[in-house]
Structures are given as structure tokens and as C-alpha cells.
Structure 1
């Protein structure tokens, strides 16, 4: 995993993450080895000391897909998702 953090202001931060996913028998009839690369971006704003609002987006690229040879590789697809959230840490 590669990760980069930017503190834009005292209350605003931007994070980027890249990771690679592997199958080692978890998907029974899927190919073993690397099967996707994921890129993520997260922007968070500190509302108060323990509360953050955040927005995120992710894109996952399927790699080494071979649904002719491995039936469960048909489920391996490129996927985009995004969302908004609110988090609060109890201390």
C-alpha cells in the first residue's frame, strides 16, 4: 500500500491511498494472485476536536481477469464508489 497525507489547513486534510488486492484461495474458483488495484481519495474537515465530516472516492481496477478459465473471475470488475460521512471519536 502507498499512502500520502496532506494537511491543507489546520482543519482540512487530504489523503490518497493505492493498494493491490490478492486472491489466495479466498475466491474458490477465481485465479490466485493479484486481482485488483485500488485508488482512494479522502477529504476530511474537522468540525470540532473529535468530529470530522469527510468525502471519499475509490476506483478499483480488475487485473488478470480470465473468466474463460476461472468461473468466479466473471465477478471481477472495475468498480467506482464514493460517499459522504461523519465520524466522532469518543475519548
Structure 2
């Protein structure tokens, strides 16, 4: 599934949680899932493309990841692990 298709999937209403779409920030595109329904988001309103983490398992679910998409991709292709302390 492409990033665009996955993002559109998450833009659909959920009959079990009717208010969830209004709480989801529109400036983000859901980029990838890292497990346990935790997703990485990219802020598309700025050229820096800063990343955020969305963890629906906690009350304050969307938090900054403190790195850009460019840096995240460079770390990934350089085989540097994604920092676990970011979401711990």
C-alpha cells in the first residue's frame, strides 16, 4: 500500500469512534507504522517535513519526534536504528 493510500484509509470515518477524525491534525500525513498501532507522521505544512509520533495507547497521543523526514530516511538507509528512547 502506498503512503497516499494508507493516509486516505486513515481519513475515513470510524463508526465506533465518531469524533476521532476531528481530533486528528490535518497537517499530518501518516507515513509508516512502527507496531502496536503506533504511527509516524510527517508535517506537510513546512519544507522541513518534521516528524511526529502518534501513539493511540496514551492520552496525549501525538508528540514531536524531533527529527525531519530527511534525517529519519538517512538514518534508516545508513542502518542506524530508530531511537527507542524517543517514545519510551
TM-score (norm 2): 0.30
Higher share in strand: 1
Report the structure number with the largest CA radius of gyration.
Answer: 1
Highest RCO, 1 vs 2 (Cα 8 Å, sep ≥ 6) = 1
